[in-house]
Structure 1
Amino acid sequence: MFPIVKTQRLASSIKLLEVEAPLIARKVKAGQFVVLRRSEQGERIPLTVADWNRERGTLTLIFQEVGKSTLELGRMGEGDEIQDLIGPLGNPSEIKHYGTVLCVGGGIGIAPIYPIARAFREAGNRVLSILGARQRELLILEEEMRALSHELWVTTDDGSYGRQGLVTDELRRLLEEGDRIDMVLAIGPPVMMQAVCRLTALHGLKTTVSLDSIMVDGTGMCGACRVTVGGKTRFVCVHGPEFDGHQVDFEEYIQRKRMYLAQERQALERFRQGGTEGKDGRG
């Protein structure tokens, strides 16, 4: 069992959990993820680690409550225990000195981009950041990202904060102004990452994306997380989660992520109508 030592509501639908997991905290690196199961009957949920404290032996996990399982996870509080937590999984980010690195985070994607951006800064890179959200209330980790970025820009879809528009609008401005950028990291909704890659491809700019495919075991056995990269089948859990964004078949990736959308909606509707499950996931 893995005790929750801290909870924090970052936005109306976004929650932070700090979980005691000393063995994972000792080894995790930027870009890696864990798979958790809230209870014996719970669904396996993959989450990129947003931060860690090796001395305290804790992991920071940030997630958005969008379906039944994440809503149940969001109901957990300090002192509650997560049934299972495995990791660190996946390959760490390739951290080295590129020169100027631009980090583009959209929505909940800002959470996994934070430790990677920090690692880039620690490696001596000039870090630029663009953060995007639908509205100001959904923007997370701005202060943390601003503290490690040499420059940072914010966009919101509705114009409630920062520049009105998309992260690609700000990216296009930077590229047109000729600011030297050596590498781009983009994490966010699939359509956002796809749009970023289309734009950077026009400039021949190295672009890495982090994918969050549907996943079951997280160790390469089930094949649920497969994606096509450079015309070859790859598993996000063991070959990723980071890939060359210009090589990812985003159309297939997006289609596969929507495979169980109808079932997810049905489960969420039953849950909102009351269902029969209690806090521990049992009837």
Structure 2
Amino acid sequence: MYTIRKKQPLNPTVTKMVIDAPFVAKRAKAGQFIILRVNENGERIPLTIEDSDPEKGTVSIVYQIVGGTTMKLNALNEGDSLHDFVGPLGKPSVIDGNKKVCVIGGGVGCAIAYPTAKAFAKAGADVTTIVGFRNKDLVILQDEFKSVSNHYYLTSDDGTAGEKGLVTNKLEDLIAAGEHFDEVVAIGPIIMMKFVCLATKKYDIPTVVSMNPIMIDGTGMCGCCRLMVDGKMKFACVDGPDFDGHLVDFDEAMSRNRAYMDFEKKARDEACNLLNKEVA
């Protein structure tokens, strides 16, 4: 069993948990993920490893409460245990310290962007981070990003946190001001990653994206994480989750993602009804 050592709400819909998982902690690298089950009859869900501590034997995960399983997960508290916690899975991010890199995170995708920025910083790279949220109430991991960044920029759609605008606006501003990046790493909503890639393609900046947002079961069996990369079928959980952003067919990925939204809503509604019955 995998004991929950710490549970920390980051905003109204996003929670961080620190889990006892020594074997995973020893091998975990930036960009990889785990698959967990809340209980014996629960579904498998993949979650990116937000951080790990090999000495303490712990692994941190950050999740958004969006469906039935994440609601059940969030009902657990410190001292409770998860039934399964398997990993690390997926290919680690390629980290090169001899670079000036810009790591861009959007929304809950910042939980994936943070360990990547941290790994680049540890390798000696010059790290600029740009993070974006809808408003100030949804901002997460601000101190963590600042601790691993040479330059940190916060943006929000409504201007209530940091600069008003999108992460792509800030990226274009920095490039226009003379900043040069050897690589851009973008992690967040599919539409955000698409427009980051459109921007970087104009300047011929190599760009890596994490397709973690389209993963459902983490094994490829569900088919949701299929995507076209350079005209070839790939699976985000098996072949990635990191890909060359300039080769990804984002429109096809968004179409597939939308097809599962009704399923997620149904699962969330059913979980709400079940929890209400249990409380009653």
Q: Settle same-fold status: TM greater than 0.5.
A: yes
C-alpha deviation, 1:77, in angstroms? 0.6
Q: Distance in 1 between the 2:260 and 2:219 partners?
A: 21
Equivalences, count: 278
Query: What is the rounded CA distance, in whole Å, between the counterparts of 2:10 and 2:53 in structure 1?
Result: 19
1:1-283 matches, cutoff 5 A: 1-212=1-212, 213-216=214-217, 218-220=218-220, 223-274=223-274, 278=278
Q: Deviations over 1:3-23 (max 9, x none)?
A: 111100111111001111111
CA contact (8 A) 1:129 1:151 kept: yes
Q: Alpha carbon RMSD of aligned pairs, Å?
A: 1.6
Q: Which amino acid aligns with 1:205?
A: I
Q: CA deviation at 1:242?
A: 0.2
**Aligned-partner Cα distance in 2 for 1:124–1:88:** 24
User: Over residues 189-212 of structure 1, what are the superposed CA-to-partner deviations in whole Å (9 max), with x where a residue is unaligned?
Assistant: 100000100000011000000012
2-side partners of 1:175 and 1:199: how far apart? 10
The separation in 2 between residues aligned to 1:66 and 1:251, in whole angstroms, is: 23
Distance 1:272 1:224, change over 3 A: closer
- When residues 18 and 168 of structure 1 are mapped into structure 2, their CA distance, relative to the original with a 3 A threshold, is same
Query: Structure 1 residue 41: deviation in Å?
Result: 2.2
Q: Deviation per CA, 1:201-256: give whole Å up to 9, x if none.
A: 0110000000122332x345554422111111111112100000010010111111
**Unpaired runs of 5+ in structure 1?**
none
* Kept after mapping to 1: 8 A contact 2:90/2:239: yes
Matched to 1:214, the amino acid is: M
- How far has the Cα of 1:272 moved from its partner? 2.8
Verify the 8 A CA contact 1:98 1:182 in the aligned structure 2: no
**Greater displacement, 133-142 / 92-101:** 92-101
Deviation, structure 1 residue 86: 1.0
For structure 1, which segment, 196-205 or 233-242, has the greater mean C-alpha deviation from structure 2 after superposition? 233-242
Q: How much has 1:63 moved relative to structure 2?
A: 0.7
What is the TM-score of this pair, normalised by structure 1? 0.94
Contact kept? 1:214, 1:257, Cα under 8 Å: no
Determine the C-alpha separation between the residues in 2 that align with 1:74 and 1:275: 12
In 1, the alpha carbon distance for the partners of 2:20 and 2:144 equals 22
Structure 2, unmatched stretches of 5+, are none
| Residues 157, 166 of structure 2: 8 Å contact kept | yes
> Contact 2:4–2:78 (CA<8 Å) still a contact in 1?
yes
Q: Residue 215 of structure 2 contacts residue 236 of structure 2 at CA under 8 Å; is this kept in 1?
A: no
State the identity as a percent: 43
Deviation, 1:40, is 1.9
SS of match in other structure, 2:259: coil
Q: How far apart are 1:266 and its partner, in Å?
A: 2.0
Q: Secondary structure at the match of 1:258?
A: helix
Encode CA deviations 1:150-192: one digit per residue, 9 max, x unaligned: 1111101111111111111101101111211110000001000
CA contact (8 A) 2:104 2:187 kept: yes
- 1:31-59 CA-partner distances (Å, limit 9, x unpaired): 10001111122221111100011011110
Q: Secondary structure at the match of 1:117?
A: helix
Instruction: For 2:119, give the aligned amino acid.
Output: A
Distance in 2 separating the partners of 1:221 and 1:274: 27
Taking the aligned partners of 1:195 and 1:127, their CA distance within structure 2 comes to 21
1:274 deviates by 4.6
Name the CA distance, whole Å, in 1 between partners of 2:204 and 2:251. 21
Residues 63-72 or 6-15, more deviating = 63-72
Alpha-carbon distance in 2 for matches of 1:221, 1:13: 28
